[in-house]
Amino acid sequence: MVSMNGVLLISFLLLAVGIAGVLIRRNALVILMCVELMLNAANLNFVAAARHSGTVNGQAFALLVMGFAAAEVAVGLALVVALYRRRDTVSVDKIDLLKG
């Protein structure tokens, strides 16, 4: 059995890797994957808290976050595909569609 501190440490590491990936990487697909890592860290926290407290509230929130993650992937991937078709790149530095 893994203790609550161990689960929170793993969750913190997942969150740290996700934040570092969003801040450092310039590829839109990698940024989306790093956002997914951060959402999975939140899910891990919710499930660990539910297990620790003996209720299912955290698991219900984790299912809700999974739904949000699926919607984020669908919308984000559609935006990345549209940007790639228009600009032939997925680098966020080279995307300047809103400039006048």
- pTM across the whole model: 0.87
The two three-digit tokens of residue 49, written as one number: 């808290």
Instruction: With beta carbons less than 8 A apart as the criterion, state whether 59 and 47 touch.
Output: yes
In degrees and rounded to multiples of 5, residue 91 shows phi and psi of -80, 125
Residue 94 lies in a domain: no
On whether residue 39 sits in a domain, the answer given is yes
DSSP code per residue over 45-57: HHHHHHHHHT-SH
Q: How many distinct structural domains can be found in the chain? A: 1
**Domain at 76, CATH number:** 1.10.287.3510
**Domain span at 45:** 4-87
| In a domain? residue 97 | no
Q: What is the pLDDT of residue 48?
A: 94
Residue 75 has pLDDT above 70, yes or no: yes
Question: Which tokens hold the place of 33?
Answer: 């994957």
Alpha carbons 78 and 99: distance in angstroms, whole number: 21
In a domain, 92, yes or no: no
Q: Is residue 37 part of a domain?
A: yes
